[in-house]
């Protein structure tokens, strides 16, 4: 690190929020990140709340792993540590909000207030002009939050931008973005996986060029001071153990913090691709089947006979297996996609998975374990019909009602629940040691 950067006071920081989903938060955050990178700045991006898809795109935009921030799932101390670490390393920090600014408990606004992060409000101005000022003032004053300014999205012309700017009164218009001819296509869990977009880099560069940024307004943003470095040295219950993680277009949903923690706890991580009919690595002491899109890859998974036999063999040998959401779907007896076509899966968990026309499970959940509560979330568009008796259920964070079924079969733990391992490292380690009871 050069002297100039070594003496830096911190990073400019904003939380990119909106009045609702669908306003263009992810596109604006990605465009702003890529624009700042092209200006020679080091950029770190975070995603508020539980999410896998948006971080994949934002990682491509900024060139660094994108971690999640959530006051409940990640926790106050871990959020503070992550932000402080980013302020030591970067010139700019962007935090993409979730849903609307005040939606959820905790909300993006709660996170912004907790860490004194100013909010950059993304307004979809495609069907409004002067009313933008009323929306911006409402977003600012309802909480209230510290509003850094507005970024007007889907602007039709310079005249349109001028009307929006005049309506904001004392709120700065930090930037604007014209309507996009080429949208990043969407899928039932959000944006598509960036690896599936052949021209994603060109799209990011194009949208970065189109963003009209008021450099003076950007430079007026407050600086988040770096916190002293905290050395985190978790216990090493997984020392000497190899964990095999499924990774291909059907298995993509892994929190970066989860993989990082497994390594910090001593595990060696290896990856394999079931869709390419790669078997479970023979030296695996435990297996992690994360979520993803098995329903979009039924033919490949049905044809992967070597992978299917290897996961059944590993289970028969008592290898601990953790299967989350899509990972559980891929080891059921069968999976019926949205077109009504049934595909043979690995047949480890007795049951049939059927895709549904609308969301079947959504929200923050906690899984009770012998080591205490393991926090995470659920978001799925399928239902599992199994003859197996659940060994327990997750608990919904909002209200404490019964959540997702947890199936245990020998050393296999399977559920629609996505666990955030750093919320309880001891419980996470127990899953991969086959000791979570």
- Convert the pLDDT of each residue in 358-391 to its tens digit: 999 999 999 999 999 999 999 999 999 999 999 9
Give yes or no: residues 72 and 201 share one domain.
yes
Whether residue 26 is predicted with pLDDT greater than 50 in this model: the reply is yes
Whether residues 375 and 282 fall in one domain: yes
pLDDT reported for residue 127: 92
Tell me which of 198, 224, 250 is where a domain ends: 224
Provide the pLDDT for residue 179. 87
Q: Is residue 237 part of a domain?
A: no
Whether residues 175 and 268 fall in one domain: no
Q: Is residue 229 part of a domain?
A: no
Q: What is the model's pLDDT at position 191?
A: 45
252 and 212 inside one domain: no
Please report the pLDDT score of residue 109 as a whole number: 98
Same domain, 152 and 279: no
On whether residue 233 sits in a domain, the answer given is: no
Same domain, yes or no: 213 and 309 = no
Q: Which of the pair, 189 or 287, is modelled with greater confidence? A: 287
Q: Is the pLDDT of residue 413 over 80?
A: yes
Range of the domain at 131: 3-224
Residue 234 lies in a domain: no
DSSP letter at 2?
Answer: -
Positions marked active-site: 325
- Sort 126 into a burial class: Cβ within 10 Å, 0-12 / 13-18 / 19+: middle
What is the three-class DSSP state of 196? helix
Q: Is residue 255 domain-shared with residue 202, that is, in the same domain? A: no
| pLDDT, tens digit, 9 for 90 and up, residues 263-282 | 999 999 999 999 999 999 99
The answer to whether residues 220 and 287 belong to one domain is no
Sign of CA dihedral 266, 272, 274, 280: negative
Query: Residue length, the chain?
Result: 437
Residue 235 counted as domain residue? no
Number of separate domains in the chain: 2
Q: Identify the band that residue 5 occupies on the pLDDT scale cut at 50, 70 and 90.
A: very low
pLDDT band at 200 (very low <50, low <70, confident <90, very high): confident
Q: Do residues 383 and 262 share a domain?
A: yes
Mean pLDDT, the chain, integer: 92
Both 65 and 184 in a single domain? yes
Q: pLDDT by residue (tens digit) across 29-63?
A: 999 999 999 999 999 999 999 988 889 889 999 99
**pLDDT score of 86:** 94
The Cβ of residue 339 has, within 10 Å, a number of other Cβ atoms equal to: 8
**Is pLDDT above 70 for 192?**
no
The 10 Å Cβ neighbour count of residue 185 is: 9
């Amino acid at each position: 690190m050069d002297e100039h950067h070594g003496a830096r006071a911190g990073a400019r920081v904003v939380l990119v929020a909106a009045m609702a989903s669908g306003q263009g938060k992810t596109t604006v955050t990605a465009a702003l990140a890529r624009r700042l990178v092209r200006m020679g700045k080091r950029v770190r991006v975070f995603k508020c709340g539980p999410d896998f898809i948006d971080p994949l795109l934002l990682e491509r935009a900024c060139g660094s792993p994108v971690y999640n921030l959530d006051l409940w799932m990640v926790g106050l101390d871990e959020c503070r540590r992550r932000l402080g670490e980013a302020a030591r390393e970067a010139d700019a920090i962007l935090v993409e909000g979730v849903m609307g600014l005040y939606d959820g408990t905790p909300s993006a606004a709660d996170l912004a207030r907790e860490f004194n992060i100013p909010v950059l409000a993304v307004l979809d101005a495609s069907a409004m002009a002067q009313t933008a000022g009323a929306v911006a003032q409402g977003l600012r004053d309802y909480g209230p939050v510290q509003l850094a300014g507005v970024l007007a999205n889907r602007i039709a012309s310079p005249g349109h931008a001028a009307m929006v700017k005049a309506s904001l009164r004392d709120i700065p218009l930090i930037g604007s973005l014209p309507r996009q001819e080429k949208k990043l296509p969407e899928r039932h869990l959000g944006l598509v996986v960036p690896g599936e977009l052949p021209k994603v880099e060109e799209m990011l560069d194009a949208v970065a060029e189109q963003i009209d940024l008021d450099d003076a307004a950007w430079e007026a943003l407050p600086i988040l001071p770096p916190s002293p470095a905290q050395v985190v040295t978790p216990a090493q219950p997984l020392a000497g153990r190899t964990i095999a993680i499924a990774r291909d277009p059907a298995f993509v949903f892994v929190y970066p913090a989860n993989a990082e923690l497994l390594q910090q706890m001593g595990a060696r991580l290896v990856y394999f691709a079931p869709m390419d009919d790669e078997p479970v690595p023979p030296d695996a002491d435990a297996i992690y089947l994360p979520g993803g899109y098995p329903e979009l890859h039924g033919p490949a998974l049905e044809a992967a006979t070597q992978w299917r036999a290897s996961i059944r063999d590993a289970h028969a040998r008592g290898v601990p297996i953790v299967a989350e959401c899509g990972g559980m779907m891929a080891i059921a007896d069968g999976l019926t996609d949205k077109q009504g076509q049934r595909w043979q899966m690995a047949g480890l968990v007795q049951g049939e998975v059927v895709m549904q026309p609308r969301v079947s499970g959504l929200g923050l959940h906690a899984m009770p374990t012998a080591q205490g509560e393991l926090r995470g979330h659920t978001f799925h568009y399928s239902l599992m019909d199994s003859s197996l008796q659940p060994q327990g259920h997750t608990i919904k964070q909002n209200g404490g009602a019964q959540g997702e079924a947890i199936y245990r079969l020998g050393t296999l733990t399977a559920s629609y629940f996505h666990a955030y391992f750093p919320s309880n490292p001891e419980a996470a380690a127990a899953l991969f040691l086959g000791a979570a009871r």
